[in-house]
Structure 1
C-alpha cells in the first residue's frame, strides 16, 4: 500500500515547524501498518530521529506506568481501589485527603487542583529530602472540590498514587514496574531515569527543552520540573520509551483484556475496569477518551477508544474493538515549550491515517 499521503503530511509538519522530529507507529492487531521516523532528535547536535529514539513520555506515564502499577497491586489483592488512601498512607490521616480512594485518583475525581509548582519548594531542600517532602506538600495542598464530585485532570492526584503504590509494594514504583510488568513483558525500552541512583543510560534520547529552571538542554532527564526535583520517578511523569515499546505494551494489554495471553500479567477483570470504567460515569482508569468535539484523535476514533497525551509532544490512541492504535511521539518542546502547533496537527494526522487505512 502506498503510504505517501501520510508521509506528505508528516513532512509538512516538519516544514511548518510543528515538531523538530517525530516517530509515527500505526498498528492493527500484531501488525505494524506504518512505522517511520522523521526529522531531528536534537537540533543542536544534528542527531537524526530514528525508530529506536527514546522519548520523554511525559503524561503517558499516567496510563502506561502508574495506572498499571495500581492495577497489578489490585490484582494481587494488595490495594482495594475503593478504600481510603489513608490505609496505606497514614500520614494523611486527619487531613481532607484521608478518604480519597485510588479509583477517584485514577479517574481525576480526587478534588486535587490540576498542578502546583512544588519544585519551587523542593529546590531549596537537600536532594535526599525532596522525595519525602512531596507527600507533605500534597497533604497541605487544599482540595478544590470534595472527592468524587468533579472531574478535573490533575498531576497531583497521580503524584499521590505513586506514593500509594510504593507504600503498598514496599519498593520504589520504577522497581515494582520492572519486576512485575515491564520485566515479564520483556519491555527493555520502557523505563524511568532514577536521578538519585542511575547514571544516564546510553540511549538515543530525543532532546526536549532548553530548560529555564535547570539552565541546560534536557536530554535523557525528565522534562517535568516537579518530577525532576522529586528524583525522576513519579506518578505523573518520568517514563521514557520508544514507539516500539509502547506498541508492544499495548499489545500485551489487549491480549490480557481479550483473555488470550498464554502468560497473563493482568486479569481480564482489572483491565475491563481500566479500559471501560465502572459506575455511572464509566470513566476509564488513568486513560482518557476522545473528546466529543475537536478531539486530538480526530473524528474517526470510537467514543470508547482510550488514549492520552503528553506535554513533551507524545500521544497514543487505541481502539480496543478494532485493535487499532496510533502512537505519535514528537519532541515538540525542543528547543522551547512555546511551540503549540502540534495541537492543530494531531487531529489532522489521525484523520489522514484512518482514511488511508479505511479504519
Structure 2
C-alpha cells in the first residue's frame, strides 16, 4: 500500500502543468472576454473608496483613480490602483445591459474615479426619490485634470491589450443601468476622451444635419426608443415616455449632451443620437430613418385619422349603405353668410361632379383638373348651425373627389344690435369704488360682439396705496389664468392624446406612470383625476416645510415635486366616492401629459395646440418667452406674503406681474404645472372656446372629435356639476359662476386670480371675464370662531364674484331677439 502511494506521488511530481502532453491548436472561433469598459465615480473620498472596494466585500472594481486635493490620500503624487486583475471578475456593474450584453461584470473592466458628487439621496430627505430626479438635482463637481490624464493613459493601455472593445462600448454606469445609476455624471469629460482616441462621439456636421431634419418633425417616442436600443441602451420600445425611457434619455444626455440635461426627448437629444448611429452603426440608422420618413409621410397624409378640417371626405362613399338617401351626404357647422369649400381631384384625369349645399346646387366649373385646388365661398348658401352637403353625379364613374370645409373662425364684428350698457356700468362702478381692472369679451354665433377693457392692469403700490400713474388695462393685457389652466392647457392636452389614442381614460395610471403604485394608487385612472375623485387632498404646500404632510414633502424643485406626487403624496379619501376639488390631481395630469409625449407640458401645449391655431400670447412663464413690452395684469401686492403675514424660503414680496401667483406652480414646479401657470389674453381664449363650440377644431386645424369632446363636457358619474376637467352649469346648481340663464350644457371654469370662462353650446355663446381682483389690499377679519381670516378687497365686488356680470351679458344677448 505504501509503495502504491509513493508511486502516485512520484507520478504527480513528474507530470506537473509544464510537462503535461498538451499541444496548442488555436481555434478561429474565439474572442476576448472583455467587451466593454465601464466608468464610475465613487462619490466618496479615497480612503472611503478603498474601504468600500477592498475591505467590505460588497462591491469592487478593477481600477481606482484618486483625485488631487483629497485629504485622505497620503501619497505624493496621483497613481492608479489596481484592485482586481483584468481577467478576473470585479463586482462593479450590478444588474445592467449594454448592446444586448447582460451580466456585464463578466464582460467588462470597471474603473472607479474619485469624484464626490452630492445628490439628494446622500441624506434621509432623498430616501424616496428616483434616480432620474436625483440626477437632475445632483451637485456635480468638475473632474481633476491630472486624474483624467491618468485615466486616458490607463484606457489607452487597456485598449491596446483588448482590441475587441468598440468605441461605443466605453460607457458610464448610468448608460448600462439608467434606472439605478447616474455616474460618472454630466461633468465627466467624454469629449476630451474621444479627442484622445478613446470612446465614441458624433461629428458636428452630422448632428446639425439631423437637427435640421428634426426641426420639421421630431421622431416618435417609439422611434427614439428604438434608436437608443440600436446604439446600445437598455431601452424598450413602448411608444410612451415611461420612467425607464426618461431615465435612459437623461443618461444619454449626461454622456453626449450634458448642456441639455432635461430628461426629455427633444431635438438636440435626437440629433446627437442619430449622428452617433450614422457614424458607428450606419446600417441601423438607414433602417431607422426609413421608418422616420414613413411615419412622417403617414402623419401628413390627408385622411380621417389625420384630418385638419371639420369635413374632409372623399366622395363617393367607400362603403355604401343599403338606404339610398344616406349615401354621399354629410353635415357641417357654419354661420349664416360665412364659410368656404375646398375641392381637389386626387386622380389622374379631369373629373366632374355636382355639389349641393342646403339643397342648392353650387355653380361649379365643368371639370376639376388633377393636381389643382379649388376654393369657393359659401356665404350665399350657409345658415347658422347645421348645414348639409350632398355630392353626386361624379364622372367618370370610377373617379373620386376630395371635399373639405374648414371649421368656423371667430369674427370680430361688434354688432351694434347688442346692448351692453348695463354690464359696462356695473364694472365701471366697481372700478370707481376701488376694483382694479377687467377685460370682458363676449362672442355670440361665432362673432365677437363685445370686447372691452376696464380700469387698471396695475393700480396699487405694495403698501395698498393707489399709484400716481396707474397702468391702464388694455384688451391685449395678459392675465394669470390660475385654474383656467386646468381646462385651456391640461384638459385640452388630455383630449388631444385621447383623440390620438395615446391615452385611455379608464386603464390604471401605472400603465403610463409605472411608479404610481401602492397605497391605493393602483386602481386610479385619468378619469378619476379629471373628475377630482381620486381621493387626493385639495393641495399640498410643497413650497414650505410647514405643509400638512410634514418636511419630507418640502420641495422647491420640479423634479422632486413630481416624484413626491407620483410616489409619496397619500390618498386622503377613498376614491370614486365624491368629488373633492384637487390641484394635486391636475398636477399629476400635467405629469401624465409629459410622460406620454416626452415634452414638458408647456412645450407640448404651446407647440401642438396653441401655435397651429395662431396663438402666440398663450404661454407659461411669459416673461421668459414674450417681449419685454408685453403688458400683464398685476396680482398680489406683496408677492405671496399676504401683506407680510406669510413667510417661507424664497418667498416673493414684490407686486406680482407676469409671474404665476400660485405658490405650488411657481416655487415647486418652476412655473409649469397642470393646475396653474398659463397666461393668455381674452382674444386668444375666445379662439380656444370657439374650437370647443365647433366640436374640436378651428379653421383648418383639428384637435379632437365631437365624440371625444362629449366625453369631457357631459356630466360625470360623480356630479352633474363636473365633466372631465370642466365645471358645468348643471341647471343652475352653479349659478354663482354661470348665472341663472345658462343652458344645462354650459361648461367652463374659474381661476383663483379672478378669471372666468363660460361656454354655452345651446346659445352659441362665450363669456370670457378676466380680472385682477387679487391686486387689492388684504382685509383682516374674524370668523364666528374668533379665528383670523385674510381676504382680498377685490373679492367683495360684483365684478370679482362673476355671477352678476354673467347674468347681464346673457340678458344683453337674449333680449336682442325682441
Tell me if TM exceeds 0.5: yes
Residue 351 in 1 paired to residue 807 in 2?
A: yes
Q: Which runs of no fewer than 5 residues in structure 1 stay unpaired? A: none
Residue 30 in 1 paired to residue 458 in 2?
A: no
CA spacing shift, 1:37–1:129, aligned 2, 3 Å: closer
- Alignment counterpart, residue 20 of structure 1, candidates 426, 429, 436: 436
Aligned residue for 1:10? 427
Aligned-pair CA distance for 1:129:
7.1
Aligned-pair CA distance for 1:281:
5.0
Aligned residue for 1:271? 709
Residue 241 in 1 paired to residue 680 in 2?
A: yes
2: CA distance, partners of 1:77 / 1:157: 21
2: CA distance, partners of 1:345 / 1:159: 26
Q: TM-score, normalised by structure 2?
A: 0.41
Residue 338 in 1 paired to residue 774 in 2?
A: no
Larger-gyration structure (1/2): 2
Alignment map for 1:53-68 (pairs within 5 Å): 53-68=477-492
Aligned-pair CA distance for 1:6:
1.9
Report if aligned partners of 1:313, 1:331 keep a CA contact under 8 Å in 2.
yes
Alignment map for 1:199-210 (pairs within 5 Å): 201-202=627-628, 203-209=630-636, 210=638
Alignment map for 1:24-173 (pairs within 5 Å): 24-43=440-459, 44=467, 46-121=470-545, 130-138=557-565, 139-173=567-601
CA spacing shift, 1:280–1:159, aligned 2, 3 Å: closer
2: CA distance, partners of 1:269 / 1:297: 24
Report if aligned partners of 1:256, 1:264 keep a CA contact under 8 Å in 2.
no
- Alignment counterpart, residue 756 of structure 2, candidates 315, 325, 341: 315
Aligned-pair CA distance for 1:292:
1.4
2: CA distance, partners of 1:277 / 1:71: 16
2: CA distance, partners of 1:83 / 1:293: 31
- Alignment counterpart, residue 188 of structure 1, candidates 616, 623, 641: 616
Secondary structure (helix, strand or coil) at the match of 1:184 reads helix
Q: 1:165-215 CA distances to partner (integer Å, 9 max, x unpaired)?
A: 1000111011111222111111112111178xx366421111111211311
CA spacing shift, 1:260–1:32, aligned 2, 3 Å: closer
Aligned-pair CA distance for 1:144:
2.1
Q: TM-score, normalised by structure 1?
A: 0.91
Segment drifting more, 132-141 vs 79-88: 132-141
1: CA distance, partners of 2:625 / 2:704: 31
2: CA distance, partners of 1:35 / 1:301: 20
1: CA distance, partners of 2:673 / 2:734: 31
2: CA distance, partners of 1:42 / 1:278: 39
2: CA distance, partners of 1:264 / 1:200: 26
Aligned residue for 1:302? 743
Report if aligned partners of 2:533, 2:578 keep a CA contact under 8 Å in 1.
yes
1: CA distance, partners of 2:420 / 2:718: 42
Alignment coverage as a number of residue pairs: 354
- Alignment counterpart, residue 177 of structure 1, candidates 605, 616, 627: 605
2: CA distance, partners of 1:122 / 1:97: 25
Which structure has the highest strand share of the two? 2
Secondary structure (helix, strand or coil) at the match of 1:13 reads helix
2: CA distance, partners of 1:10 / 1:325: 18
Aligned-pair CA distance for 1:63:
0.8
CA spacing shift, 1:293–1:237, aligned 2, 3 Å: closer
Report if aligned partners of 1:111, 1:145 keep a CA contact under 8 Å in 2.
yes
Report if aligned partners of 1:194, 1:232 keep a CA contact under 8 Å in 2.
no
Q: How well do the aligned residues superpose, as a CA RMSD in angstroms? A: 2.5
CA spacing shift, 1:116–1:260, aligned 2, 3 Å: closer
User: Which structure ranks higher in relative contact order (CA pairs < 8 Å, sequence separation ≥ 6)?
Assistant: 1
